[in-house]
Structure 1
């Protein structure tokens, strides 16, 4: 088994301001290095805290006090901007989310660096920074006045470019060096087949793997199956690992052909595939008992509920890491179809 050491590293900060979300802070900042969370702040705790032991080793108390003060300032600006957006769209209630993703990436093989800074509202792209042209790109007409204001602020643009192409990569290199043993690890998943009822699709569920660069699919006679297959989203686990699932519609599969189907999991850097053959005897289900006589449905129900809960939490951060931007959120209130142009507060770079 040959392990692959990632050469493209990322440092990303996610800022989320929200309204009317039950049991969720109004403002949250989380930072990630290579998909490993390193920092957390929310308006309930009002304290920025490290999420990895190695972060404590390379920072001091003054660093975290500065992080907290900066996050509290960001909180006020983000909540003000959220209210501005709601008023502009004539929205009076319901769930609304205003987000920013900011950070950089560094290729430790070529030395190339790049940065990104983008904003979204209710799951839609709003405005993003183009570092090459040093211009802000609008995703809709409501952001045009904000674009004009930010484009004309040359001092802010210079500061942002310095942060994203120099300052941020310097911190990223520092973090990668400090957390190398954790960030470079490779963890294989446990894989199970799940089924709610005899006619339900069979879910192949993998959990506990790291890094997130993985694919999973169904295969028949060594050929990938496309028809009747539904891929779930990749979700984070509480311990920093990941989980994913893929469903297979078995309604058109003859019983004698089940053994021709395999669920295949591939993790970047690991040469050997992990496979599970479609077999009734290994499926955890809601309609049959395991060999131990315990109703497996309770286990299946718990696993599926866990998936839903994790999906609700991770799905709240509405940016797809593998796509161009945000995805639409489910919101519920009365809003105008023709919003006015919006002038948002200024953009700030951050420490670390």
Structure 2
């Protein structure tokens, strides 16, 4: 179920070339001993850019361009950290109210909020959305046309106790688009930079394939392959996909099955990393240069990626519904003319 939720989450929020999104996933829980009581994740165009939880209560940038933005705009970091603390308090009050209303005194309960905005930079049109899920099911969503909350099933009995409209409208209709436009400016600047990778030969056990692993490169326009006597080979070769690192750079691997390679023939093989606008990085197949399982960094990377996927899966869990698997969210459209009522702005 969690894997399916994650796939649907990606499906709903992969942006088009002219449409960009800023989404906040907020999760508060009770009864979970191994997970922070509150977690907030910020996502721009499907990429995690910020994180905060009830333990740190401080906004943490997850991309290089976000770090640069915070350095250029010190008030932005403070603003995000303050909003993290406020959201923690508000969501905790909400989940306590819901549990009391439904007479739930024990067990594990999870309240999730997904809010944000999409911006079409061609026609300069903004759409906004704010939705809640409780214990894995859709709970309520904000209808921006009527400025009312639409509750699902038994949650409708909470109609008179749910007081959230004013703050949500101000944030998702006005502050969110301004933040998103500022973010895209920094993203576009970062696209112009280039970073070369470090390339290593890795092997889990003496009988395992040798993995040629490149990490830390940017952008993701790269390829890598094995050669024998200067010619690219495909037999006994397994190509991995380009994967993102937590700092915004990328990694790539290509494995070579050496079970049929004679020791005296090792020198005939090399790994080639090709990067747009840069010279090829060539790494000879040399047993002395192979890093073994004891120092294999992929294990650490796997743990980090696994934790991030778990976090995103949990925060996006309420998206999936058993009866309507193929229905996506339908955010309300807010026209550009609504900006005339703008009474608040994003931090500098």
Which TM-score band applies after superposition, normalised by the shorter structure? 0.5 to 0.7
Is 1:131–1:161's contact at 8 Å kept on the other side of the alignment?
Answer: no
User: Which is richer in helix?
Assistant: 2
After superposition, give the CA deviation of every residue in 1:309-340 in whole Å (9 maximum; x if it has no partner). Answer: 3124322322499xxx5499xxxxxxxxxxxx
User: Cα gap change, 1:59/1:11 in structure 2, threshold over 3 Å: closer, same or farther?
Assistant: farther
Matching residue of 1:144: 153
The whole-number CA distance in structure 1 between the counterparts of 2:103 and 2:222 is 41
The reply to whether residue 306 of structure 1 matches residue 304 of structure 2 is: no
Matching residue of 1:171: 179
Q: Which runs of 5+ in 1 are unaligned?
A: 1-5, 283-288, 329-349
- Name which of 262, 280, 290 aligns with 2:288: 290
User: Cα gap change, 1:327/1:47 in structure 2, threshold over 3 Å: closer, same or farther?
Assistant: closer
Matching residue of 1:14: 25
Is 2:205–2:293's contact at 8 Å kept on the other side of the alignment?
Answer: no
Q: Larger C-alpha radius of gyration, 1 or 2?
A: 2
Matched residue of 1:44: which SS?
A: coil
- The count of corresponding residues between Structure 1 and Structure 2 is 291
Matches within 5 A, 1:70-85: 70-79=83-92
Is 2:118–2:128's contact at 8 Å kept on the other side of the alignment?
Answer: yes
Matches within 5 A, 1:272-283: 281=285
Is 2:217–2:251's contact at 8 Å kept on the other side of the alignment?
Answer: no
After superposition, give the CA deviation of every residue in 1:80-136 in whole Å (9 maximum; x if it has no partner). Answer: 556757x8999736xx765434322334345344445455678x6746859799898
TM-score, length basis structure 2: 0.54
RMSD: 5.7
Is 1:47–1:68's contact at 8 Å kept on the other side of the alignment?
Answer: yes
Is 2:197–2:217's contact at 8 Å kept on the other side of the alignment?
Answer: yes
After superposition, give the CA deviation of every residue in 1:223-251 in whole Å (9 maximum; x if it has no partner). Answer: 999x99696794533xx224445675849
Matching residue of 1:105: 118
The whole-number CA distance in structure 1 between the counterparts of 2:270 and 2:288 is 22
Matching residue of 2:70: 55
Matching residue of 2:107: 92
The reply to whether residue 317 of structure 1 matches residue 324 of structure 2 is: no
After superposition, give the CA deviation of every residue in 1:24-48 in whole Å (9 maximum; x if it has no partner). Answer: 64323243556473x5543234345
- Name which of 49, 55, 67 aligns with 1:44: 55
Q: CA deviation at 1:170?
A: 2.2
The whole-number CA distance in structure 2 between the counterparts of 1:246 and 1:127 is 42
Matches within 5 A, 1:194-233: 194-203=202-211, 205-210=213-218
The whole-number CA distance in structure 2 between the counterparts of 1:310 and 1:182 is 23
The whole-number CA distance in structure 2 between the counterparts of 1:223 and 1:114 is 49
Matching residue of 1:336: none
Matched residue of 2:292: which SS?
A: helix
The whole-number CA distance in structure 1 between the counterparts of 2:95 and 2:163 is 25
Matched residue of 2:193: which SS?
A: coil
Is 1:103–1:115's contact at 8 Å kept on the other side of the alignment?
Answer: yes
TM-score, length basis structure 1: 0.54
Q: CA deviation at 1:196?
A: 0.9
